[in-house]
Structure 1
């Protein structure tokens, strides 16, 4: 069959697809099919005026899908294929836009959480640094108070206590 003759036997429908979330954008859907409806196979072309997406669905694919779903071909294939596909594509594009918005919201939330994490980490470092400094000052003050002299234990032995500088307070451990 010559390509020109093939096109003459095809039914063609072109519809504009409007997406409510993208009021400034317009898509056009071209559906071409042989016979009475989609059961004979069809070709799709979706364009936004700059890019185009094309797909072919064979009669065998349509029959296999109907058989897999255990449906009669007449019930499976929509009598108005262009309208059914337009609705499907509209839904798909809306869902894609919704997912895109949700992804953007998650990215913003992630940035917010990272900033909060950095703030908390910096605050903890400041707190830990201040506590460690207080422990050192406290140890220095105690050593100054005792003048670095050995202390007698209650048992009466004269062992040198460990250096107060070497010990750390409970906050620093």
Structure 2
């Protein structure tokens, strides 16, 4: 099975003949490292040569370069990687022994320093017209391929441009819709926020009013308890005992109006100290019993001022009664 041949055609100038144009065609199967064929044409004559794989490896060893790197340099120099470059120089020299043989060399230029990459021995072809036709056909085919590729790229570019315009319009619509949506959401948010603020203010007012009511109720209760605590003391001073009420209802007759009648024994017993004393508010209920059952000394110390006068009166009446007897 015959393998497909790759071909590169480029235009070069040689340093030995400035201004003269040559066309260089390089053909290879796998890559330049496996060997390649060189055709050089000046428009009238054609020279052809071949570089074997062994020669490529030998040149790489002489330059102390790895084979892959050297093959890349050859591709840049002979095919220019599809681009025209000034980093490489070409030269032709005739063989003094054979006028139909040319020595074709190619070098790399680094800051005016030339490094020889390799050379090939070219021989004149007897029928250059066929090779020139092949070069023209290759150029036309390549031009057609590039034109078709260019048209394809132009079509892709137009399609991408239309898609870009469509996407731009859609994006503008989305941006407008987003702005409308944002405005709507912002308006709703403002309404909700204002409503929440109004509710918060209302709740704060209710809370403040409730606190004022609680404080007023507590102050009212405190004033009421203060008045109730003062009322019993005032009643103690303003009230009267049973003996005072009895004396007011039954006043004692004076001795100046008529003769004094001493009381009988029953009368003395009736006005004895066993009288009903009203207990003061808040005093324990056992106070009355203790007053009635206590000794005369304890009873005397527990009597109030009106009670003392009553007891004195009873004592005096008793003495008169005993004296009269």
Instruction: Classify the TM-score, shorter chain.
Output: 0.3 to 0.5
Task: Choose 1 or 2 for highest CA Rg.
Answer: 2
Q: TM-score, normalised by structure 1?
A: 0.46
Q: TM-score, normalised by structure 2?
A: 0.26
